[in-house]
Structure 1
């Protein structure tokens, strides 16, 4: 959990150094897409896949999915550090393997809490899950500092740091973890998986393109593709909700949202993430590109100091 969440914040704080390393100006009008997908690609894939991968873990073994996630994460981290290209090709390489890395990270995130739930008795379960959650929050905190520090050394070092942890973690998990929960075999909810994945993907991708310039406008909310993607995404998610109430073994039991504590807790988590994520995105660009240079900080040092200035937010 630590390395999965470190990787979420380590890249966002290091983006200026990464783009300088591949010789690309991310704020040029034609390159803004590279910038957004570098940030949002990992998060989009994680948001879309974590529910489906959690359900597959229930069916085929949580430890098996967790171990596979570690292996995928380690391989993608190595590939990211070996980017052989410059310019747009280099950016596409990084975006592509960040997506692969997100698949591995989603396997870890989706199954870690379930493995702990299986492994700990009821009287210790809250403590175990609390430690797991604090570890995830610590990853966001440490990623800003580690990313800022490594970006001043070499932009590739931002990705190197994940490689040894991924390799050691893969070996450790294969050697040490055992299935302690009861596996619940069942049919894969293909209709639910496909409608949720396609709907969430279309919706989030359309939002990503909606904040890019289009046709002389500073944003793309008038882009027919964006409007079509938003409509399609919402429609598919409505179909997903209908499907999940009609089949005996759904991917996700929507009846959970009848529990007010569960529904309110998820809503609060969503609103907190929106507030923190939006502010973090703006502050990182503003600190590294405007405020720190105007106050005497060299561009080479701005990633580290931006990370330090961002610590109160985490």
Structure 2
């Protein structure tokens, strides 16, 4: 079992020089498992749906498809701040260890998924949401545990290594998902079990709290308004990108408008409550610390841009480039993960180096440079043709990963260094919220931009192409009127939708039937509309990266809260608690 949390007011035990490496290795394993689990389904969903005999492109199953992707991310986004505060109050190691246990039990439950069809799919969604609860406990407290364990001059390196697992794991999950799903779809879930069992046992045995928890009453009103408000907003985003009546998306539907308006109203109520209660769920005065507020804004913007990139690349590779180069639709998920490796490589190269250097020179130069490189890489990717030369594509992916790696470890270090030791749990929870909520927001934003682009030109292009292949006009019109989201999800999942959009009886009488359902017809059809939408999406990402660079600059130079001394800055004397403003050192 883990060591009990220190009583309030107690001094921590003398620093064990070896404990920091125990904390780093275990939290890195935990973050890797949580991150891989968050992305592994993106590639392996086609194999899973085939395994449970469910057609994901049927209109009645679109909701299942979306929640299979987003359920885990919604759970982690909503709960990380709450579990960060609980870590501050009850002990960070205690909450982290419980999260590892919940995560592992859920992995076993997913590996033993019963039944098939819609029942199995909703079982998958429900258990992944529960697993997201465990993942939120891991994410909310791992950063705080590391910040407690490492001295200030080594935190950038430690958080850089940990961040490799957190962000790099999301890309590694794509590759693992493709490899395992090609063998047996259940292996996608079994892969987490041995890591979870070892990590849980190790955590309960070795991890302990280095900072005395500060027990406080639970802020029920704050927890409820924040949790329900964020859930409603994220559900609204998920529902908004689905077809609605004759509309390509449901942003104007009364249900989506009600979800979003109510959700945002509850989040505003949360801010009012937190500014008035004695013991808030999240201490809003932390935002008076400039490195904390600017760092989190930069983190949110970068996360939205990075999350959208992952989805767009999967669609580009699986729906267009790989089939045009002779790969069958069934094998594109595996090869998409392989061809995206330069992105992971760039990230792995830059992250630990930038973390180590930021310990010595501060976060600003590396975070700003990383976002500028990221913006340039998005501009370069927009210039590529649909059937690009892979060497250029790989170079631009490497630069994008390099930019993200330069940014994220210094940004994390600056955020965690800026807050008092007793508030690190909630600070880590807020940082994790920006990463996870950014990922969910990116799905809604990027899919919306892409669907808008496809809706403008895909129906007319599809109708003309089908009529040119002797498909009857009525059938071509019906196929072209299918929601653009169906073609988008088909590309995302590595499906060729032409066999489902055109009735089998019609196909049987067409001389060009084999060509229509072959490897190149659909990729050529979707290529130009996709690139039209891609320009919207990547322009948005480029702007987000430039804004993240600006906020990273505003966060200031190197600042460590516990090393700060009161000084007059702009006529004010900052106090060592978050109730006072602590400007960044310029």
Q: TM-score, normalised by structure 2?
A: 0.52
Q: Which portions of structure 1, spanning 4 or more consecutive aligned residues, are displaced by more than 6 angstroms? A: none
> Are the equivalent residues in 2 in contact too, given 1:280–1:310 (CA < 8 A)?
no
1:284 to 310, 314, 328: 314
Q: Tell me if 1:112 matches 2:142.
A: yes
Alignment of 1:45-124 (within 5 A): 45-124=75-154
Spell out, residue by residue over 1:51-81, the C-alpha distance to the aligned partner (whole angstroms, 9 max, x if none): 0011011111111111111111011111111
Q: What is the CA–CA distance in structure 1 between the aligned matches of 2:107 and 2:316, rounded to whole Å?
A: 28
Q: What is the CA–CA distance in structure 1 between the aligned matches of 2:255 and 2:170, rounded to whole Å?
A: 33
Give the match for residue 47 of structure 2: 17
Q: What is the CA–CA distance in structure 2 between the aligned matches of 1:190 and 1:248, rounded to whole Å?
A: 12
| Relative contact order, higher structure (CA 8 A, sep 6+) | 1
Q: What is the CA–CA distance in structure 2 between the aligned matches of 1:8 and 1:40, rounded to whole Å?
A: 9
Considering only CA atoms, is the larger Rg found in Structure 1 or Structure 2? 2
Give the match for residue 60 of structure 2: 30
Q: What is the CA–CA distance in structure 1 between the aligned matches of 2:253 and 2:290, rounded to whole Å?
A: 38
Q: What is the CA–CA distance in structure 2 between the aligned matches of 1:236 and 1:132, rounded to whole Å?
A: 33
Spell out, residue by residue over 1:135-155, the C-alpha distance to the aligned partner (whole angstroms, 9 max, x if none): 212212311211111111111
2:287 to 234, 240, 257: 257
Superposed displacement of residue 290, structure 1: 4.5
Superposed displacement of residue 300, structure 1: 3.7
2:200 to 170, 177, 181: 170
Q: 1:23 to 1:294 in 2, by over 3 A?
A: farther
Superposed displacement of residue 275, structure 1: 1.9
Q: Tell me if 1:188 matches 2:188.
A: no
Give the match for residue 6 of structure 1: 36
> Are the equivalent residues in 2 in contact too, given 1:14–1:303 (CA < 8 A)?
yes
Superposed displacement of residue 181, structure 1: 1.4
SS of aligned partner of 1:25: coil
Q: What is the CA–CA distance in structure 1 between the aligned matches of 2:321 and 2:51, rounded to whole Å?
A: 22
Q: What is the CA–CA distance in structure 1 between the aligned matches of 2:112 and 2:199, rounded to whole Å?
A: 21
Alignment of 1:230-249 (within 5 A): 230-249=260-279
Aligned length: 314
Cα RMSD after superposing both structures: 1.6
1:179 to 205, 209, 212: 209
Give the match for residue 293 of structure 1: 323
Q: What is the CA–CA distance in structure 2 between the aligned matches of 1:160 and 1:269, rounded to whole Å?
A: 32
Superposed displacement of residue 213, structure 1: 1.1
Spell out, residue by residue over 1:204-241, the C-alpha distance to the aligned partner (whole angstroms, 9 max, x if none): 11110011111222211122111001000110000000
SS of aligned partner of 2:194: helix
SS of aligned partner of 1:72: helix
Q: What is the CA–CA distance in structure 2 between the aligned matches of 1:90 and 1:216, rounded to whole Å?
A: 30
Superposed displacement of residue 271, structure 1: 1.9
Range with bigger deviation, 184-193 or 127-136 = 127-136
Alignment of 1:260-275 (within 5 A): 260-275=290-305
SS of aligned partner of 1:152: helix
Superposed displacement of residue 282, structure 1: 3.4
Task: For structure 2, list consecutive stretches of 5 or more residues without a partner in the other structure.
Answer: 1-30, 344-396, 402-586
SS of aligned partner of 1:220: coil
Q: Tell me if 1:209 matches 2:239.
A: yes
Q: 1:134 to 1:279 in 2, by over 3 A?
A: closer
Q: 1:282 to 1:124 in 2, by over 3 A?
A: closer
Q: What is the CA–CA distance in structure 1 between the aligned matches of 2:310 and 2:57, rounded to whole Å?
A: 17
Superposed displacement of residue 293, structure 1: 3.0
Q: What is the CA–CA distance in structure 2 between the aligned matches of 1:265 and 1:308, rounded to whole Å?
A: 32
Superposed displacement of residue 274, structure 1: 1.6
Superposed displacement of residue 289, structure 1: 4.2
1:138 to 164, 168, 173: 168
SS of aligned partner of 2:83: helix
Superposed displacement of residue 3, structure 1: 0.8
Q: TM-score, normalised by structure 1?
A: 0.95
Q: What is the CA–CA distance in structure 2 between the aligned matches of 1:282 and 1:268, rounded to whole Å?
A: 22
Range with bigger deviation, 59-68 or 288-297 = 288-297
Superposed displacement of residue 286, structure 1: 4.5
